[in-house]
Amino acid sequence: MKIAILGTGAGARQHATRLSTLGHEVIVGTRVPEATLARTEPDMMGTEPFAAYLSTRPGLALTTFAEAAEAGEMVINGIDGANAVTALSALPASALAGKTLIDYSVPYVYQQPGDAEHPWPTPWGEMPRLDPVDTDSLAERIQRALPSTNVVKTFVTQEQETVVNPSEFADGDHTMFLAGDHDDAKSAARRLLNAYGWNDLVDLGPLAAARALEMYAHFHTAVGLALGGRFGVKIVRGGSLR
Ligand SMILES: NC(=O)c1ccc[n+]([C@@H]2O[C@H](COP(=O)([O-])OP(=O)(O)OC[C@H]3O[C@@H](n4cnc5c(N)ncnc54)[C@H](OP(=O)(O)O)[C@@H]3O)[C@@H](O)[C@H]2O)c1
């Protein structure tokens, strides 16, 4: 299958590598390919320049967001959360219409020291804010901006290394979640998750549940800081609610 990944960050690379290994044709999208390939310094998270990554993966193609989306039969969104709606809205209407768009962007708003009224310090600076929260989500904003596209929210409750390879913990016996308003798109996302190795999937229902997935990001970070490393999440089912 031709799968477009919009984004060149660390998460996008995990998906690109794994999907290639699974035999898919992967097209990676970026704003300006020449500019992305010209970068020589790691990004603020220490991720190596994209050209260095690409040099060891000759099967991958890098092109613009628009050309990648146009080429993909399925599209994965890994664009920085604060810019995702604007970037996706700028694509030609034909590029995403009728397609499944798996969204894993998190609506982080990064803060400078002194920005937050009640700061939450972390080893890498102040915890970013989430915006939107509670009454809206980034995934819903993307869906409203792209009414002809079928948006599914998933992946965000795990580190991307774990998303693409759940077997690294507990023989893969832990839980992944998805939400969306289109059953066909959720089935496509399920097939992809199964191919990655996920067996325990919880469908949270409509895309409005993406609010819960995105707001979970802070809890995920807090647990990761407490444990000092990566971890899995397992839902243990109980009886019916009274
Ligand atoms: N488990 C998970 O699901 C998980 C884990 C980590 C992060 N995330 C979320 O996934 C998303 C991607 O994270 P990441 O760390 O892989 O990469 P990132 O550094 O957050 O974002 C990189 C991508 O965003 C694009 N971008 C940045 N500013 C832009 C702008 N003004 N206009 C258009 N595009 C812009 C970049 O374009 P260029 O290619 O042109 O530079 C690049 O492709 C984020 O929302 C992040 O919070 C999810």
What residues make up the domain containing 201?
2-227
- C-alpha 110 to ligand 1 mean position (Å): 13
Q: How many domains does the chain have?
A: 1
Q: Please, is 204 exposed, middle or buried when counting C-beta atoms within 10 Å of its C-beta (0-12, 13-18, 19+)?
A: middle
In a domain, 18, yes or no: yes
Q: Is residue 38 one of the residues assigned to a domain?
A: yes
Pocket mutation for ligand 1, best pick of 40, 80, 137 (most atoms within 8 Å of C-beta) = 80
For strand 129-130 and strand 108-109, is the pairing parallel, antiparallel, or unpaired? Answer: antiparallel
What's the CATH code of the domain at 106?
Answer: 3.40.50.720
pLDDT digit string (tens) for 61-77? 999 999 999 999 999 99
* Residue 209 falls inside a structural domain: yes
The answer to whether residue 47 sits within a structural domain is yes
pTM for the complete prediction? 0.96
Q: Whose CA is nearest to atom 39 of ligand 1?
A: 30
Indicate whether 117 belongs to any domain.
Answer: yes
Within a domain: 238: no
151-173: per-residue pLDDT in tens? 999 999 999 999 999 998 889 99
Ligand 1 geometric centre to CA of 9 (Å): 5
